[in-house]
Amino acid sequence: MAITETRQYREPFVEAAGLGVTNEGLRLLGQSLPTATYTGRGFVAGQSGLESAAATAAANLGQLTGTGAGTADQAGSIASYMSPYQQEVIDASLASLQREQDKGLMSLRDSAVRSGAFGGGREAAAMGEFEATGAIARAQLESQLRQQGFQQAQAARAGDLAAQQGLGTYQSQLGAQQRQLDQARLAADQEQAREAAFGDYTRLGLIGPQLASVIGGFPAATQVQSTPPPSTTQQLLGLGIGAAGLAGAARGLGMFGG
């Protein structure tokens, strides 16, 4: 009887394309996602130089608060804001007051001489009272001058504090803008790194559906092969060859048996 064989096959390039996509997909499934190349602190912008400078300056502003006198060489102390000529002003003011008091003392003595009380107890009492009053006046004047200097130094330090705070705020604003620009650059670098890390996955995702569409456009061809039955002569010949083979085999067995 006839033998019929049916086989479906695709074009070689179609089979190669499908096999290539399958192998690439299996390879990608077998490897870890390269997240380390596009994640981490390296893509987070740190403080800008202006922000760091403002933070350092802000940490030192504490010395501009409070009322500590300190010494003139201590930054931020009241003394460092005092006028370097304050003592000269005090000395000159006290000297002027002393001259006026000396004039008053001379006038008091002249009066004692005219009244005949010169050298007496009343003159001594009057002059003692005058000198005591003068000493108090000098002390009050010096105290007032020093208090004025202190208040002026406080005002100067407060103004310096306000100026530095304003400058720090301005620096912080500029620094924040700079950091935003730096972060935008890092974000662009991060996106580029991510695209590079997923390049194979992206290509497979784009090409796979396209190849599937192409493969679907080339349906499998059906090949039918039929083998005709052998003719009568071929059958008889086959039977004869078979009988001869059996007879030869029987003779061989007989020889071994004898």
Provide the pLDDT confidence category of residue 58 given band limits of 50, 70 and 90. Answer: confident
Domain chopping of the chain, boundaries: 65-184
Q: Which residues contact 72 (CB under 8 A, 6 or more apart)?
A: 79, 80, 82
Provide the pLDDT confidence category of residue 256 given band limits of 50, 70 and 90. Answer: very low
- A 10 A CB-CB count for 117 gives 15
Nearest 5°: the CA angle 73, 95, 123 is 140
The per-residue pLDDT for range 199-222, each reduced to its tens digit, is: 777 777 777 776 666 555 555 555
Spatial contact of 71 and 77, defined as CB atoms under 8 Å apart: yes
Q: Helix H segments across the chain? A: 12-29, 49-59, 86-115, 121-197, 199-216, 232-257
The per-residue pLDDT for range 139-176, each reduced to its tens digit, is: 999 999 989 988 888 888 888 888 888 888 888 898 99
DSSP helix/strand/coil, 222: strand
d(CA 38, CA 200) in angstroms, rounded, equals 15
Structure tokens at 97: 């007051």
In this predicted structure, what is the pLDDT of residue 188? 94
Structure tokens at 186: 């890092």
Residue 104 has pLDDT above 90, yes or no: no
Nearest 5°: the CA angle 196, 200, 203 is 105
Could you tell me which residue, 118 or 41, shows the higher pLDDT? 41
In this predicted structure, what is the pLDDT of residue 3? 59
The per-residue pLDDT for range 21-41, each reduced to its tens digit, is: 777 777 777 777 778 888 888
The letter for the amino acid at 143 is S
Spatial contact of 50 and 178, defined as CB atoms under 8 Å apart: yes
Structure tokens at 50: 């202006």
Mean pLDDT of the chain: 75
Could you tell me which residue, 99 or 212, shows the higher pLDDT? 99
Q: Residue 7: beta bridge partners?
A: 223
Residue 129 has pLDDT above 80, yes or no: yes
Predicted structure pTM score: 0.47
